[in-house]
Structure 1
Amino acid sequence: MALINTKIKPFTTQAFKNGEFIEVSEKDVEGKWAVFFFYPADFTFVCPTELGDVQDKYAELKSRGVEVYSVSTDTHFVHKAWHDASDTIGKIEYTMLGDPNGVITTNFEVMRPGVGLADRATFVVDPDGIIQAMEITAEGIGRDAEDLLRKVKAAQYVREHPGEVCPAKWKEGEATLAPSLDLVGKI
């Protein structure tokens, strides 16, 4: 899993967004921040809690110039059916990518071998299409959109402030570090 600092690979797929089916490719991601939010399957248990949590932070992510793409190996038709059937999923405004052929899931190296489902994984991608952060958890461990937002803020800060880095638990507005020889062994 050496995906950090690598460019996302090409893909084209059908998606569901705002009551419509649309086509999405890696070209749609170019020039903006993006989050790819992989989950095993629609109509499951942990997945809707996570997707709903991301929706709760979507307006703030959008205000920071970040687009969210949820991804499962379900089709865009299944995404629509889930959107229509579930109160939680019915609130989702971000793009739900269908990946029935597994291209995107395989590109991000989160396809479960022999199962045809994605691992629970999150990727933060910068405007150059480079993966800046990733998180993968086991099937039963849900993720936290608040921490995702913190990682996005840190990635954006580091990009905008070359020579500075964000320490553990860094929150926007807090002090950063400027790595130097004088700092070695002082922390």
Structure 2
Amino acid sequence: RFAGSAEPLALILREIGRPGFATFLGASAVIALPTVLLAFLFGQSRIFFTMARDGLLPLGLAKVSKRGAPVRITWITAAIVAVIAGLLPLAEIAALANAGTLAAFVAVCACMLVMRRRAPDAVRTFRAPAATLVGIVGILGCLYLFFSLPSKTQLYFGLWNLLGLVIYFVYARPRALAE
């Protein structure tokens, strides 16, 4: 019953006699979800802005307003997100976001291992005990979770990344190397 619920934690809280906490949790989710989405929107638009500035996307997308904000690319990113949100079910969007996040964590762990080997004396702003073990366990854990996602999500993730590679090799790489 809990697994089939759209709000399992709130359901559990109501079941154990804490309806006030369940209501607070629901209200918190309503407030937090748009906040997180806005943070992702602004973050992604800044990534696209930097890619455009570096020649990986059309240079016109790197234009900023009088106040120095990348308004054009922010609006385009918002439009893309709105189309995706309007066409795909929320569960599929969440699964794709999970796949992307797991892939990013694998990349971070792998880069940490590579940088520890290539630049062992580099200044580190923080220390990680047993960094090699943490990196390997992080990669394996994220891969396990990725391959636990629905196969449809894995397929869409692969297709999306394949599209990104095609755009990179056809459009972006020649322009980035030219500069």
Decide: shared fold, TM above 0.5.
Answer: no
The higher relative CO (CA closer than 8 Å, separation ≥ 6) is in 1
TM range (shorter): under 0.3
Q: Look at both structures and tell me which one has the larger radius of gyration over its CA atoms.
A: 2
Greater per-residue helix proportion: 2
TM-score, structure 2 normalization: 0.25
TM-score, structure 1 normalization: 0.24
Greater per-residue strand proportion: 1
